[in-house]
């Protein structure tokens, strides 16, 4: 099981690196647009569009890492009143629900990408970016998130099992 945790941590770290690179791209695109508008009196015509695409990468590739580092917002009204065993069980149940929701979103995001690809959809901007290219970040990010959710669920199950045998 330790191998699974190490592997999921590596996957989340790589996804976080990609997410960070997307953030850097957003900053560079905005700086470029400001420079071009200010000094050359023109526009790149793509900064807004590609910043939005990079934002999708940033968010979806950052989900797993945020879970791994316990960065998601949690309301602990219920869990703070539970013992260790109850907290582990609640964490496990929440993870199972999250896996179901992420799987549901994954199914429909794959359909979204496939539809954009098969219909040769392009953006309605001067760049005419094929829409499946930025959209593919959604199912990939969700898949990476599900890997981390699985590791998180296994850790919760392990904590729950270990707490059963404590006096």
Q: DSSP secondary structure string, 56-109?
A: HHHHHHHHHHHHHTT-S----TTGGGS-HHHHHHHHHHHHHHHHHHHHHHHHHH
Sign of the alpha-carbon dihedral angle for 149, 150, 155, 159: positive
Place of tokens 């919760």: 156
Per-residue pLDDT of the chain (167 residues; tens, 9 = 90+): 788 889 999 999 999 999 999 999 999 999 999 999 999 999 999 999 999 999 999 999 999 999 999 888 877 888 888 898 899 999 999 999 999 999 999 999 999 999 999 999 999 999 999 999 999 999 999 999 999 999 999 999 999 988 876 65
pLDDT of residue 20: 98
Find the domain containing 148 and state its range: 2-164
Q: Which residues are within 8 A (CB) of 77 and not within 5 positions of it... i.e. 6 or more apart?
A: none
Cβ distance 61 to 18 under 8 Å?
yes
d(CA 79, CA 74): 10
* Number of folded domains that form the chain: 1
pLDDT of residue 80: 83
């Amino acid at each position: 099981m330790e191998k699974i945790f190490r592997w999921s941590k590596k996957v989340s770290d790589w996804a976080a690196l990609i997410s960070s690179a997307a953030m850097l791209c957003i900053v560079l695109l905005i700086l470029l647009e400001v420079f071009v508008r200010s000094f050359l009196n023109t526009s790149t015509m793509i900064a807004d569009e590609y910043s939005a695409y990079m934002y999708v990468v940033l968010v979806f590739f950052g989900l797993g890492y945020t879970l791994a580092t316990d960065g998601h917002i949690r309301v602990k009204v219920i869990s703070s009143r539970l013992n260790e065993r109850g907290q582990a069980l609640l964490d496990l149940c929440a993870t199972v629900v999250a896996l179901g929701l992420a799987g549901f979103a994954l199914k429909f995001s794959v359909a979204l990408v496939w539809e954009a690809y098969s219909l040769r959809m392009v953006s309605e901007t001067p760049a005419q970016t094929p829409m499946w290219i930025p959209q593919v970040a959604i199912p990939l990010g969700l898949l990476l998130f599900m890997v981390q959710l699985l590791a998180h669920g296994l850790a919760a199950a392990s904590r729950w099992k270990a707490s059963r045998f404590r006096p």
